[in-house]
């Protein structure tokens, strides 16, 4: 990833390039936003190639939009939420370590419902989700869940990215319960501290249904992210 914070960026990048060469790997940085790209171009002019893939752009929303669902554009979302409230005697709870096994069970159910095909990407996602839940407090995660008649039907979690943006990393729900996704999204947005102006709900990975769902919530920002690679993999490149 692109180094952030105070300090000598050129010094750190030099170390990173040296490390990649020692490992016999092509040097590349992921998640480079437009302002980061500008900084690299300012420092190194023409040394990097930048590749943009729409599948990895982040969807960023105003928290108040997702918490209030006001206006005509959110009518369908309000309908889902209102039906959910009418049809279910539910409760929203913050995730604690006592809920981890139940959340993992819901994820396993979700996996089977969604064809249960284990490719490299799915395996990595499930491994990351399981690790995150099992180390929930250590990682500083915050989450919420929905219960209906004692059974968890949806959960979500994430963590702050900075002082005004909260990242939502995972959202899973029982699709047999109508409106469960809309409801967990709505409740979580309402329980995030008001200091967070934005919710970053990450990328869609080019999955058609996921893209449609994320666009339906009308992102305020569709954040472009680039992959930066050195144009030449030569030893003299580390002597910037």
Q: What is the pLDDT of residues 167-189, one digit of tens each?
A: 999 999 999 999 999 999 999 99
| pTM of the predicted structure, to 2 decimals | 0.88
Whether the per-residue pLDDT at 13 is higher than 70: the answer is yes
Domain check: are 118 and 68 in the same one? yes
Q: Within a 10 A sphere around the Cβ of 56, how many other Cβ atoms?
A: 19
Which has the closest alpha carbon to 55: 209, 225, 170, 199?
A: 225
Domain check: are 119 and 229 in the same one? no
pLDDT band at 234 (very low <50, low <70, confident <90, very high): very low
Q: Is residue 40 part of a domain?
A: yes
* pLDDT, tens digit (0-9, with 9 covering 90-100), for 15-38: 999 999 999 998 999 999 999 999
* Counted domains in the chain: 2
Q: Within a 10 A sphere around the Cβ of 142, how many other Cβ atoms?
A: 18
* pLDDT, tens digit (0-9, with 9 covering 90-100), for 114-156: 766 656 677 888 999 999 999 999 999 999 999 999 999 999 9
Residue 40 belongs to domain spanning = 9-56+224-239
Distance CA 193, CA 195 (A): 5
CB 48 within 8 A of CB 228: yes
Domain check: are 204 and 182 in the same one? yes
CB 144 within 8 A of CB 155: yes
Angle between helices 100-113 and 120-134 (to 10 degrees): 170
Domain check: are 148 and 187 in the same one? yes
C-alpha neighbours within 13 Å on the C-beta side of residue 69: 19
Whether the per-residue pLDDT at 69 is higher than 70: the answer is yes
Tell me the CA end-to-end span of the chain in Å, nearest whole number.
19
Question: CA 60 → CA 159, 176, 201, 222, distances in Å?
Answer: 14, 28, 6, 6
Domain check: are 51 and 62 in the same one? no
Q: What pLDDT is stored for residue 235 in this prediction?
A: 46
Q: What pLDDT is stored for residue 231 in this prediction?
A: 85
* pLDDT, tens digit (0-9, with 9 covering 90-100), for 205-216: 999 999 999 999
* Strands of 122-175, DSSP E: 142-148, 151-160, 165-173
């Amino acid at each position: 990833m692109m180094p952030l914070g105070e300090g000598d960026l050129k010094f750190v990048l030099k170390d990173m390039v040296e490390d990649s060469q020692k490992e016999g790997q092509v040097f590349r940085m992921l998640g480079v936003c437009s302002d980061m790209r500008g900084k690299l171009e300012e420092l190194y002019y023409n040394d990097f190639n930048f590749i943009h893939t729409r599948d990895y752009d982040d969807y960023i929303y105003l928290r108040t939009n997702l918490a209030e669902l006001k206006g005509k554009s959110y009518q369908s979302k309000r309908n889902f939420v209102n039906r959910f409230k009418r049809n279910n005697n539910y409760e929203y709870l913050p995730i604690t370590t006592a809920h981890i096994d139940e959340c993992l069970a819901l994820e396993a159910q979700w996996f089977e419902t969604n064809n249960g095909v284990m490719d490299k990407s799915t395996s990595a996602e499930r491994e990351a989700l399981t690790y995150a839940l099992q180390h929930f407090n250590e990682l500083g995660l915050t989450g919420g869940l929905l219960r209906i008649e004692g059974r968890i039907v949806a959960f979500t979690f994430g963590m702050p990215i900075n002082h005004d943006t909260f990242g939502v990393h995972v959202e899973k729900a029982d699709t047999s319960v109508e409106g469960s996704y809309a409801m967990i999204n709505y409740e979580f947005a309402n329980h995030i501290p008001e200091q967070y102006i934005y919710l970053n709900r990450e990328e869609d990975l080019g999955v058609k249904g996921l893209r449609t769902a994320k666009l339906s919530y009308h992102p305020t920002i569709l954040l472009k992210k680039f992959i930066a690679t050195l144009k030449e993999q030569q030893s003299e490149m580390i002597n910037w």
